[in-house]
Amino acid sequence: MLEQDVLLDYVRKAKKGDEYAKSIIFNHNFPLLKSIIRRFKGKGVEYDDLYQIACMGFLKAINNFDESFGVKFSTYTVPMVIGEIKRYIRDNGAIKVSRNLKILANKINKFIDEYQTINNQSPTVEFVAEKFQITPDEVIVALDSSKMPLSIYDKFDDEDDSQELIDKIANYDSEEKMIDKIHITSIIEGLNDREKKIIFLRFYRDRTQSEIAESLGVSQVQISRLENKILDKLRLKI
Directed axis angle between helix 220-237 and helix 209-216, to 10°?
110
Q: From CA 36, how far away is CA 79, in angstroms rounded?
A: 10
Domain layout of the chain by residue ranges: 4-91, 99-168, 191-237
pTM of the prediction?
A: 0.46
Q: Would you place residue 66 in the very low, low, confident or very high pLDDT band (cuts 50, 70, 90)?
A: confident
4 or 178, higher pLDDT? 4
Q: Would you place residue 156 in the very low, low, confident or very high pLDDT band (cuts 50, 70, 90)?
A: very low
Collapsing DSSP to helix, strand or coil, 107 comes out as helix
Does the pLDDT value for residue 120 go beyond 80?
A: yes
Sign of torsion, CA 175 180 186 189? Answer: negative
Query: 59-66: long-range contacts (C-beta < 8 A, 24 or more apart)?
Result: 59/22, 60/84, 62/11, 62/14, 62/15, 62/22, 62/25, 63/15, 65/11, 65/15
Does the pLDDT value for residue 95 go beyond 90?
A: no
Q: What percent of the chain is modeled with pLDDT above 90?
A: 7
61 or 176, higher pLDDT? 61
Topology (CATH level 3) of domain 99-168: Arc Repressor Mutant, subunit A (1.10.10)
Q: Which of 47-51, 103-107, 198-202 has the lowest mean pLDDT?
A: 198-202
Q: What is the CATH number of domain 191-237?
A: 1.10.10
pLDDT of residue 98: 64
Given this chain, do its domains 99-168 and 191-237 carry the same CATH topology?
A: yes
Domain 4-91 = CATH 1.20.120.1810: yes
Q: Would you place residue 130 in the very low, low, confident or very high pLDDT band (cuts 50, 70, 90)?
A: very high
